Structure 1
């Protein structure tokens, strides 16, 4: 009986391996024009990907891509899973717009314990419905209203930087700026002030940093991706503790706003969606829009529905923008001549009177500052990689993409590719000047992605970045700790960071 069972198991295993081999062979035939290094049966390219483990993973990944990609396309088998890398500008628009490629990959499920099924992680149908709901909360009219909040929070940030300038202490710029971006996104998108900049310690910020490390471990460990295995690790227990803090924070914001809206309604101050205030039609903020919206079934969104979108917008609105601000200031201390040129532009456009607010019209005129932000995003995009799952067979420019495969686009690869940007490792803001040659094609610069699932807050982010940076540069000179800024090593922990924190000093300008 034992031998019969063993024999049947062996036959079943053999049939499965034969099926896998034939499936891989068939897909390899269909994707024959995708360049790839030699693959081994069943394990694919795992022996090559194993080289990414250890120090300098970004450098190793760059070398691997350079060696094996052709015309900025390539394919990799991770065991029986096919990944297609496509950074060819001719394909980008089609890749980001194709109906079959609007689904996020299964890798994003590692975020679901925290972000549940918000815009960042949700499937196509749910994402499509939710995006229609929240898009108006980030239109141009709303952004104009947000400038007053950007101004207010920038002033608080200036007072905090002033303390470092007076004491001469070094500044952990990411820590400082993260409190600013958290307060800003909460007050603009959620209509609630959380006062992170006024507190010496933020449990929420600490929880975000810790949970991103755990998520990073899950992404990089093939065993931790399995929910059953992960639930039996110490990381899962720690993640649950952090989620309690994170969800408690956002649920508190939601409840506070609901109480305010109920109080307004009781006092008859609350206006309907079509009401006008002082002759101007009121536009609701992100959270208000969610609180008044319904799902596909016509019922109001549940607290969980609202919380998952609030969690998503807070994460995207504070962490990603804080990372960009951090790398911007790093570039400014690395290239003091560009810092001074930005400052002179701010003086010219906004004046030297530090008490004067910075207006939307002035923001539009800060062209060199915007060029420096774009150059920062080119070299240091907050999200170095994005991935989509093919929900059906499709073809992009004669390259077949089979159903079930994952398509990866890398903004950091494209931004640092010499075929798209001459001298890619040189910080050259003038490449963004009007009339500069060679002309930069839109499909080679995709830090916010493009197409249907592009970042809906990119215009919001650019205005906020320019306002706060104009204030910082008008008030302070930022200097490296030593005579020159040390070049920092990069680290990819979900978003792009530096291995060591970026530290600098600020000197008050008279």
Structure 2
């Protein structure tokens, strides 16, 4: 039986109109997409032409070279070093989604880039970090960075830093006492928490006037939150599909990021509130704004007080501005020092002969006395400084510097087009065999003065270089010297670790995946060998 469906002319006409409109919308949409694509390709024509000439790993739509960075933070670090072994030391490209990054390692090229005003911007990395830690000195956009740098610089001049010696000695005395619980135990322990507590408490008192000590719950919560947030930023950095804020916000809801931010900011905001109250009280009692709460503090500046003074003089810093600078100060003033000191202690535990030489230098300067270390002593710790620098060579805390070009920059063999991201893998430059013979060996003699003078200045840049270098490097070096000298005066350090056991992981800063496992023994304050 045949069945015939009747369709009214009105319905057919409506359907035809709907189909026509749908087709029109489709054609217009496709046309707009083609126009947008053509515009993007036109705007990117210089980058695409440049990229076509540069070698690099395979790239795929949307994810770019993302497959090269799949895995754990240890895998990411390992794969990145392998890419440099495969394509370096000449510049090579890495696609971050649809954005071009150029990997540059040669010192002569690094000098050009790090001193070029068109390469001061830190690009996407700064954006990702500022979304978590705010716009402090490290992450601030260029105009704000210039202002912040000018304000903060006086706090880190040599005269100011030398006044922190009493804090360093006091915190290190506590460090030595805390380590006593590890004596007599044949089992190794991770020295990280002990070292980190010294660096965190030192920066809290030196920069913020916060006097509470090691077991402070507020500090512990801040450190824990910082660690977890850093892990999330690292995940986002190596996965370009998480770059859009709306996608990362969804991702953040599943990982509890909002609560972590709240915990991170709680401590800095508490310090700011307390310091503001103390500052206002001092003004009420007709004291000078620099007249601090005790005689010791009168002799040295406190970073947060300087900001409050400028605020009082019309700077109009918001609470967020103050908080961002406090967070940046705490992170930069603790993480860098803790990582390098722990790596240095591990190196000295592996290389007992080098440890003996360092101890002998300390004994020659300090003798058997219990006197505290002075500024004059730290200048004489020459071989110890070489050990610190050699540790920074092998394990630079920030293994990769990122820059974003706001205009073309010419290096030795290429003119790099603007809108290119530059990767400067310090860890790779520091391990170039033409600069450092046997580059994977720990050898403090690499920093004998006669060897240093024969190398390019930019062959060793653990604190970056150029106008946007690390403003706190003198502070870091002084505290590291005091901390290591105090530790080695009191304890010898040992480990079952070998160099081949070290597994680097990358979480914005570089760390050993298994921590820093050592044992310690008390010193008898005698020279190891005849001086």
Give the TM-score normalised by the residue count of structure 1.
0.91
**2:152 equivalent in structure 1:** 134
> Relative to 1, partners in 2 of residues 1:229 and 1:29: Cα closer, same or farther, differing over 3 Å?
closer
Q: Structure 1 residues 166, 51: closer, same or farther in 2, change over 3 A?
A: same
Moved more, 55-64 or 151-160: 55-64
Match of 2:324 in 1: 308
Match of 1:98 in 2: 116
2:89, 2:105 within 8 Å by CA — same for their partners in 1? no
Conserved? CA contact 2:387–2:444, under 8 Å: yes
The 3-state SS of whatever aligns with 1:292 is helix
- Pair 1:282–1:483, CA change in 2 (3 A): closer
Q: Which residue of 2 aligns with 1:348?
A: 364
Matched, 1:492 2:506: yes
C-alpha distance in structure 2 between counterparts of 1:70 and 1:486, whole Å: 24
Equivalent residue number for residue 415 of structure 1: 430
Displacement of 1:294: 4.7
Matching of residue 324 in structure 1 with residue 328 in structure 2: no
CA contact (8 A) 1:76 1:82 kept: yes
CA contact (8 A) 1:183 1:197 kept: no
Structure 2 equivalent of residue 426 of structure 1:
441
Q: Residues 63-88 of structure 1: CA distance to partner in whole angstroms, max 9, x if unpaired?
A: 222222353x2233334311122222
RMSD: 2.8
- What CA distance in whole angstroms lies between the structure 2 residues aligned with 1:31 and 1:224? 24
The DSSP-based 3-state class of the residue aligned with 2:183 is helix
Aligned CA distance change for structure 1 residues 289 and 271 (closer, same or farther; 3 Å): closer
> Could you tell me which of 14, 33, 46 is aligned with 1:26?
46
Match of 1:385 in 2: 400
Give the counterpart of 1:163 among 169, 174, 181. 181
Match of 2:190 in 1: 172
- CA distance in 1 between partners of 2:209 and 2:325 (Å): 15
Q: Is the 8 A contact 1:333 1:485 kept in 2?
A: no
Provide closer, same or farther for how the CA distance between residues 79 and 401 of structure 1 changes in structure 2, counting only shifts above 3 A: same
Moved more, 331-340 or 77-86: 77-86
Query: Which structure 1 residue ranges, 5 or more long, are not aligned?
Result: none
SS in structure 2 of the partner of residue 196 of structure 1? coil
Distance in 1 (CA, whole Å) between partners of 2:254 and 2:454 is 48
**Cα gap change, 1:281/1:132 in structure 2, threshold over 3 Å: closer, same or farther?**
farther
Establish whether residue 7 from structure 1 lines up as the match of residue 27 from structure 2.
Answer: yes
Q: Secondary structure at the match of 1:477?
A: strand
Question: Measured at CA, do residues 259 and 75 of structure 1 come closer, stay the same or move farther in structure 2, by a change above 3 Å?
Answer: same
Q: For 1:38 and 1:138, how far apart are their aligned partners in 2?
A: 42
Q: Specify whether residues 44 and 24 from structure 1 end up closer, same or farther in structure 2 by C-alpha distance, changes over 3 A only.
A: farther
Q: Which one of 289, 293, 310 corresponds to residue 310 of structure 2?
A: 293
> In 1, Cα distance between the equivalents of 2:79 and 2:251?
29
2:382 equivalent in structure 1: 367
Distance verdict in 2 for CA 1:263–1:500, change over 3 Å = same
Q: Which sits farther off after the overlay, 139-148 or 168-177?
A: 168-177
Paired residue for 2:12? none
C-alpha distance in 2, partners of 1:147/1:58? Answer: 36
- TM-score normalised by length of structure 2: 0.87
Question: What is the 5 A alignment of 1:430-449?
Answer: 430-436=445-451, 439-449=454-464
Equivalent positions of 1:212-227 (< 5 A) are: 212-227=230-245
Give yes or no for contact 2:96–2:240 (8 Å, CA) kept in 1.
Answer: no
Residue 82 of structure 1 contacts residue 405 of structure 1 at CA under 8 Å; is this kept in 2? yes
Question: 1:32-52 CA deviation, whole Å, 9 max, x = no partner?
Answer: 76x323866x84993x54133
**Residue 235 of structure 1, CA deviation:** 4.9
Give the deviation of 1:197 after TM superposition. 5.1
Q: CA deviation at 1:283?
A: 5.3
The separation in 2 between residues aligned to 1:6 and 1:178, in whole angstroms, is 60
Contact 1:477 1:506 in 2 (8 A): yes
User: In 2, are the aligned partners of 1:382 and 1:495 still within 8 Å (CA)?
Assistant: yes
Residues 9-18 or 363-372, more deviating:
9-18
State the Cα distance separating 1:438 from its structure 2 match: 8.0
CA distance in 2, matches of 1:466, 1:89: 27
* Distance (whole Å) between structure 2 residues aligned to residue 26 and residue 113 of structure 1: 30
- Superposed counterparts of 1:11-160, under 5 Å: 11-30=31-50, 35-37=54-56, 43=61, 46=64, 48-54=65-71, 56-71=75-90, 73-160=91-178
Deviation at 1:166, TM superposition (A): 4.5
Aligned residue pair count: 500
User: What is the CA distance between 1:199 and its match in structure 2?
Assistant: 6.9
Whether contact under 8 Å (1:36, 1:69) holds in the other structure is no
CA 1:26 to 1:141, structure 2 compared with 1: closer, same or farther past 3 Å? closer
